[in-house]
Amino acid sequence: MSISVRNLTKTFNDKKVLDNISFSVENGHTLGVVGFSGSGKSTLLKIISGLLYSDSGTIITENNSDIAMTFQYSALFDFLDVYHNIAFPLLERREFRGKYSKKEIKNIVKEKLALVGLEGIEEKFPSELSGGMQKRVGFARAIVTNPNIILYDEPTAGLDPVSSTLIENYIVRLKNELNAACIVVTHQMSTITRACDDVILLYEGKIVYRGTVNDFVSANTPYTKQFIEANIDGPMEIKSLT
Amino acid sequence: MINVKSTLTYSFFKLFFHCIKDFLITIGNIGKDFSRVLYYVVRLRINASATIEQSSRFAVDSLPITLTIVGMTSVIIAMQIAPELAKQGAEGYMGMMSALVMIRELSCIMSGFAIISMIGSSFASELASMAVGEQISAMHVLKVDPVEYLVVPRVLSGILTMPFVFIVSSLVGLVCTCLVSYMTAGLSPLNFMTSLWQGLYLRDILIAMLKASFFGGTIALISCSCGYSTRGGAKEVGESTTKAVVWSFVAIAVWDYIFAVLFYL
Ligand SMILES: Nc1ncnc2c1ncn2[C@@H]1O[C@H](COP(=O)(O)OP(=O)(O)O)[C@@H](O)[C@H]1O
Ligand SMILES: [Mg+2]
C-alpha cells in the first residue's frame, strides 16, 4: 500500500478539525475526500504533505516516495514566469540541480503545459492568467517531477466544465501512467464520479461515510443523501451559517 | 462586585504582556532564521545567481534614495556649521570635522535608514505576501528550502554590498559638504581638502565598513524574518512590514552604539 493514514487528530484553538481519521490509498488508486467548507480537508492534505504537524497519529508512506500537492489557490510564484514556475523543482531542488540540460527542461515544461492544455504561455506571469489557467499551471508544476503520491486540493474548483473534464481525465491518466496514489479534495460531483475510485465524506472531523464511488452515488445514508442532493436540512449543518 | 476584566489595570497588564510575548516571539523568529542562514552559509550552500540579483537590488536600486538622503543631510549640516566656523576663524577645521562625522557616523546610519525604508520594507512585504499566499508552503512541498532560496541570498546581499553603499555615500556626502562650505562660507575646496586628510583615518574607514556590513546583514535578516513568519492576510502583511522597519531602526541604533563603545570609548 502506498499511503496509509492512522488515527490522525488535529486541533486548532480547542476545535477538533480532524478526529481520529484513518484510511489508506493503494498505488494506482484515487481517493476522493469530500465535505463542507471548513471540514478540515485542506488541513488533512497539509498534514500528509508535511506542512503541518498533527497532534497525534501516523502517516506511513513507502521509502523514496515523492509527494506532490496542488493548492486550493494555486500558490504560483508570482515573481517567476510560467516557464520558471513549472521548471522550479527541476532547477532548484537539490537532487535535480544540474541533472537536466536547459533543452531537456524546456521540453519537459512544454510537455506538461500541453497536458493541461496551455501551450505557448511560458513567458506570461501568473498575474496575467485567469484563475483557471493559474490552477492548471499549478497542476503542471506539481507533476513535473513525476511524483508517486499526488494530493489535489480542489483541482477543479473555479474551472469551466470543459477544463474540469480535461483535468479530471488527466488525474486518471496520470494515476495510471505513474501508478500513483492520489487524494483528491473536491466539492464537485463530476470530479468524484470521473476521477475517483473511493470516497470518504468528512463531517466535524470524522469520516461519516466511506465506500466506492458507485456506492457513494447510490448510497442511501442520510449523510450522502444530503451531500449529493445539496440539502440544507439533514444530519450535517454548517455551523458558521447558523 | 467589580468585573476584574473590565478594569483599566487589567487591560493595561494584558496589553503589556501581549507586547512582551510579541517581542519574545519576534526575537525567537529572528534567532531561528539567523541560525538557519548560518547553517547554509557555513556549508557554502549558496544560490549564487539569486545572491547577485538581490545584491544589485540592495545596493544599486536603492542608491538614488540613499545618496539623496546622505547628500541632503550633509548639505544641511555644512550650511549650519561652515558659516559659524568661519565666524570663529576656524574654517580650516571644516574638512577634518566633516570627514570625522561623515565616516564615523553620518554616512553609515543615514544610508542604513534609507535602505531600511526602501529595501527592508520591500523584503518584508514580499516575503509576507508569499507566506500568506502559500507560496512558501508550495516551496516546501516542492522540496526547495525557502530559507536557502529566499532568505540566504537576501542576507548575504546585505552583508556584502552595504560597505560599498557606505563608501559611495560617504564620497557624495563629502563632496556636498565641500561645495556647500564654499558657497556659504567661501571656504575654498583646496582648503577643505587639505584639512580633510587630517580627519581621515584608515582605521575609521575599516571600522565603518565593518559596521555597514553588520547594518546590511541585520536589516536584511530582520526584514526577511518578519516577512517569512507572517500568517493571515493583507492586514498581517502590513503589520509585518511595519514591524520589520521598526525593528530594523532599533537594531541599527543598537549596533551603532555597540560599535561606538567597542572602538571609540
Ligand atoms: N492555521 C490555522 N489556524 C487556526 N485554524 C485553522 C487554521 N487552518 C485551518 N483552520 C480551521 O480549521 C478548519 C478546517 O479548515 P480547512 O482544512 O481549510 O477546511 P476545508 O479545506 O475543508 O474547507 C476551519 O474551521 C479553519 O478555520
Ligand atoms: Mg480547503
- Looking at residue A172, which CATH number applies to its domain? 3.40.50.300
In a domain, A235, yes or no: yes
In a domain, A107, yes or no: yes
What pLDDT score was predicted for residue A170?
Answer: 83
Measuring CA to CA, which residue among A45, A42, A183, A169 is closest to residue A115? A169
Find chain B residues with C-beta within 8 A of A73's C-beta: 133-134
DSSP B149-214: IIIHHHHHHHHHHHHHHHHHHHHHHHHHHHHHHHHHH---HHHHHHHHGGG--HHHHHHHHHHHHH
Q: What pTM value is reported for the model? A: 0.90
Total domains, chain A: 2
What pLDDT score was predicted for residue A55?
Answer: 94
Q: 3-state secondary structure string, B93-142?
A: HHHHHHHHHHHHHHHHHHHHHHHHHHHHHHHHHHHHHHHHCCHHHHHHHC
A40 C-beta closer than 6 A to ligand 1: yes
Distance CA A110, CA A140 (A): 10
Distance CA A76, CA A133 (A): 11
Minimum CA distance residue for ligand 1 atom 4: A12
Query: In terms of pLDDT, which residue wins out, B206 or A38?
Result: B206
**For A177, what's the count of Cα atoms within 13 Å in the CB-facing half-sphere?**
11
The minimum-distance atom of ligand 1 relative to the CA of A46 is 17
Same domain, A151 and A141: no
Spatial CB neighbours of B136, under 8 Å, sequence gap ≥ 6: B127, B130, B146, B150, B228
Same domain, A151 and A57: yes
Same domain, A107 and A24: no
Give the closest-approach CA distance of B27 to chain A in angstroms.
23
Distance CA A156, CA B265 (A): 67
Same domain, A57 and A95: no
Same domain, A99 and A132: yes
Residue of B130, B133, B141 lying closest to A51 (CB–CB): B141
DSSP A132-189: HHHHHHHHHHHTTT--SEEEEESTTTT--HHHHHHHHHHHHHHHHHHT-EEEEE-S-H
Q: What's the sign of the alpha-carbon dihedral B175, B176, B179, B181?
A: negative
- Number of H helices and E strands in chain A, helices first, is 8, 9
For A216, B183, B211, the CA distances from A211, given in Å and listed in that order, are 6, 88, 66
**pLDDT tens readout for residues A85-100:** 999 999 999 888 888 9
**pLDDT tens readout for residues A107-152:** 999 999 988 888 889 999 999 998 888 988 998 999 899 898 999 9
What separation in Å is there between the alpha carbon of A187 and the centre of ligand 2?
A: 10
Phi, psi of B27 (to 5 degrees): -55, -45
The residues of A whose Cβ lies within 8 A of any Cβ of B are: 46, 49-51, 67-69, 71, 73, 75-79, 88-89, 92-95, 138, 141-142
B188 Rama sector, left if φ>0, alpha if ψ -120 to 50, beta otherwise: beta
Same domain, A85 and A201: no
Share of chain A above pLDDT 90, in %: 52
What separation in Å is there between the alpha carbon of A44 and the centre of ligand 2?
A: 9
**pLDDT tens readout for residues B104-117:** 999 999 999 999 99
For A22, B28, B240, B245, the CA distances from B23, given in Å and listed in that order, are 40, 9, 13, 14
Q: Which of A10, A12, A186, A204 to mutate to test the pocket of ligand 1 (most atoms within 8 A of CB)?
A: A12
Is residue B124 within 8 A of residue B245, CB to CB? The reply is yes
Q: What is the CA radius of gyration of chain A?
A: 18
**pLDDT tens readout for residues B66-107:** 999 999 999 999 999 999 999 998 888 999 999 999 999 999
- CB spacing of A76 vs B140 below 8 angstroms: no
In a domain, A119, yes or no: yes
Q: What's the sign of the alpha-carbon dihedral B134, A75, A72, B141?
A: negative
Residue of B nearest to A147 (CA): B142
- Number of H helices and E strands in chain B, helices first, is 12, 0
Distance CA B182, CA A234 (A): 87
Q: 3-state secondary structure string, A44-74?
A: HHHHHCCCCCCCEEEEEECCCCCEEEECCCC
Same domain, A207 and A184: yes
Residue A241 has pLDDT above 50, yes or no: no
Is residue A71 within 8 A of residue A85, CB to CB? The reply is no
In a domain, A151, yes or no: yes
Query: Which of the four pLDDT bands, split at 50, 70 and 90, describes residue A239?
Result: low
What pLDDT score was predicted for residue A225?
Answer: 82
In a domain, A195, yes or no: yes
Mean pLDDT of A193-210: 91
Same domain, A114 and A137: yes
Is residue A30 within 8 A of residue A172, CB to CB? The reply is yes
Spatial CB neighbours of A139, under 8 Å, sequence gap ≥ 6: A70, A116, A152, A155, A167, A170
Spatial CB neighbours of B105, under 8 Å, sequence gap ≥ 6: B256
Residue that is last in its domain, among A145, A164, A190: A145
A179 C-beta closer than 6 A to ligand 1: no
Distance CA B187, CA B209 (A): 29
Same domain, A108 and A137: yes
Same domain, A82 and A138: yes
Residue A101 has pLDDT above 50, yes or no: yes
Share of chain B above pLDDT 70, in %: 100
Domain that holds residue A111: 78-145
Residue that is last in its domain, among A145, A170, A198: A145
The contacts found for A217-222 with CB under 8 angstroms, 24 or more apart, are A217/A193
Same domain, A236 and A151: yes
What pLDDT score was predicted for residue A80?
Answer: 94
Find chain A residues with C-beta within 8 A of B140's C-beta: 49-51
**pLDDT tens readout for residues B135-174:** 999 999 999 999 999 999 999 999 999 999 999 999 999 9
Quote the cell numbers at residue B20.
512582551
Distance CA B240, CA B30 (A): 13
Same domain, A171 and A206: yes
Distance CA A43, CA A53 (A): 10
What pLDDT score was predicted for residue A242?
Answer: 39
Largest CA distance in chain B: 81
Quote the cell numbers at residue A216.
457513494
Q: Residue A172: exposed, middle, or buried by beta-carbon count in 10 A (0-12, 13-18, 19+)?
A: middle
